[in-house]
Each structure stands twice: as C-alpha cells, then as structure tokens.
Amino acid sequence: MLRIDVLTLFPGMFEGVVNESILKRAQTKGTIKLAIHNLRDWTRDKHKKADDKPYGGGPGMILSCQPIFDAVKELKGSRVILLSPQGKKFEQKVANKLAKQKHLILICGHYEGVDERIKKLVTDEISIGDYVLTGGEIPAMVLIDAITRMIPGVLGNKDSAANDSFQEGFLEYPQYTRPSEYKGLKVPRILMTGDHGKIAEWRRKQSLKNRGKN
C-alpha cells in the first residue's frame, strides 16, 4: 500500500478529485491511503497563520517554515516532494518511480513561494510545466492521479497502465468503439479483422505518428 500525505492551506480543493473514479476505488480497495492535511493544524500562532511577509521586502506572502518542519517530522514520509515552478519536470518515468515508494509527503506551495529553509527536508522538487498556477494544489492532484494508476491492482485491466501514453515514449494509438460507422465516419477496417498481429502493428505505427505530432 502506498501512503500519500498532502500538506496544503486549501484542503477543500481536493475533495472532488480524490473521492471520484480511480482514486476513490484505490482507497476503497486499500491500495493507497490518502490524507489531505491543513497545514494550519501545525502552526503555533493563535490565529493559525502559516505565512508571513518576505525578508528584504517584495510583493505577496511566503509560507513559513515552522509548520512545514513540524508536519514533516510528525508524518515521517520516505520521500518529501515540494510542488514548485523551480522543480524538475514531471514525466511518466517519475510517476513510475514514485509509485514504488511506500510513503510520500506532498507540499503544496502557495502565494509567492515557501521559505527556502524547508528545502532541507525535501527529497524531490517537482514542476508539472512551465506556466504559472495559483498554488501547488493542482500539481499535487496531477501527481496523485498519475502515480496511483501505476500501482498494480489499481486499474481494472492489468495491461491498461502498460499501454498508457508515454510509457514507451509514445502517445497512445487511436481508439474506437461501437457503432462501426457514425455520420459517415468509419472505424478502420484493420481493427475489425481479428488479426491481432496486424492490429498490433497498426497501433504501433499510429503511436509513432502521434509522437510526431507532439
């Protein structure tokens, strides 16, 4: 079982995502244990304040190091991941690697960033792309989803994860279902031949073609 603890100032953002579809089933089956924590629960300030103005001046607020240090110490994760624009780009191979861990702690940055001193705790700093988001909550959801589906037993079909886009550096081939023709648009004939060898060859060619478009 993989345990994932998330530290955030906005736990309500996760409610719909973690309680639907594959993530909900994975928790019900006991494949993952997912806990979303309000970082304010570790503050020592009577007002539950978890941020402050930056030293040296500048706009916005910075997440304080004290509640993060205390939370990570209490939760004791094997890997501590900071979601940050400065982090390493998140890719499928990273998801595959993290899915083999026992316990992840995800720290959602917010406002203008986090106190630099918390990076002493961090084993991985990850970004989901070169664009600006309000905080690390959405990137954390992306990691949780991508990692969870790589855990054996999470997906209904054992081949589903292996055939996902990016697993072999390719994008997934086109998929079709019934009816075989709709508004003049037909399913490729090769897919209805029952010749699994030729179908596999066609799918690989289509994956290569899709990679060229990316």
Q: Cβ-count burial of 211 within 10 angstroms (0-12 exposed, 13-18 middle, 19+ buried)? A: middle
Q: Which among 112, 115, 125, 145 is annotated as catalytic?
A: 112
Of 85, 91, 125, 211, which one is the catalytic site residue? 85
Task: State the catalytic residue, choosing from 145, 149, 174, 211.
Answer: 149
Q: E strands, 113-196, where?
A: 124-127, 181-182, 185-186
Q: What is the CA radius of gyration of the chain?
A: 21
Cα–Cα distance for residue pair 106/59, rounded to 1 Å: 25
Nearest alpha carbon to residue 34 among 69, 7, 71, 61: 7
Please name the amino acid found at residue 190. I
Active site residue 40: no
Q: Enumerate residues 6+ apart whose C-beta is below 8 A from 191.
A: 176, 199, 202
Candidate list 5, 51, 124, 164, residue with the active-site label? 164
Angstrom distance (rounded) from CA 196 to CA 135: 46
Q: Judge whether 11 counts as a catalytic residue.
A: no
85 in active site? yes
Give, in order, the Cα–Cα distances in Å from 69 to each of 42, 47, 65, 74.
Answer: 9, 18, 6, 9
Catalytic center residues? 85, 112, 149, 164
